[in-house]
Amino acid sequence: MPYKNLPLVYLKKLKGYFATFRTLGEDNSVILSFNEVSSPEKWSFEYIDKEIGDGFTFRVNAFEYRESDQEVFAMVEYTPADDNQVKGIKNKARIKDVVILFDKWLKLVKEYNEVELTAQDSIRNYYQNLYTANFEILDSDSDNLPFDLERQLLIENFAVLCIDALKREKEQDEELIQDAIEIRDTVQNSTKKDIIIKISKFFAKVAQKSLPLLKEIATEAKKTIFKKAIEFGFKEIHELLASGYQLLN
């Protein structure tokens, strides 16, 4: 059996905290990418801010057990270090303190993503807030469960149509393509709320890039996921777009 060279107390502590680290990735999947790497007695958990790319990260690895006080330590590395310095920091920390450090780092990331210094920043946030507010989902279990299989297939089909439309653009936007791919690939494992937020952010980026492209994407949406708007609990896409921009008239 594996791990028989490690103290059982250590293994039990790791099991509990590893579950917590995975939950952090799942609960924040809208704004963070999560990677878990494991090899014999070596484990690593990494969270990456999707808005910034691979610059803002939080990583936990190099776990160590100290028998004298039955404490587990880990190497914690994250960027930015705090609100006064963008450079990263790397320290050994008690595993029980990792979540506290993560929460502080996540708060910084969210604050960065909300900063508005230019008109483009304001436009980006405006569109995102508009679509998040209007893609309303009525199901009471939206925070806990994914869509049923039929709706997953409709959303997956919508994402595929979006990918095709984006690849037909003369100047392809790789970020938008990757966002659509993520919607396609994660719909079966994401909660309803998370998928709606991902779709909202996707529409916001498309709207900021090109209104004609938004109209094309919205048309595909009407053909697929929004043709069952009432069953989904979404507000009618035609109403949403027409009221804001009259794109479908």
Over residues 215-239, the pLDDT tens digits come to 777 777 766 665 554 344 444 444 4
Q: Is a pLDDT exceeding 80 seen at residue 178?
A: yes
Q: Which of 182, 232, 200 is nearest to 29 (CA)?
A: 182
pTM of the predicted protein model: 0.63
For residue range 112-162, list pLDDT tens digits in order: 887 878 766 776 676 666 655 555 554 556 667 788 888 888 888 888 988
| Choice between 247 and 208, residue whose per-residue pLDDT is larger | 208
Give the residue, 237 or 167, on which the prediction is more confident. Answer: 167
Average pLDDT over residues 161-187: 88
C-alpha count within 13 angstroms, C-beta hemisphere, residue 122: 3
Alpha helices in the chain (DSSP H): 8-27, 98-113, 119-134, 149-167, 174-186, 192-209, 211-223, 229-232, 237-244
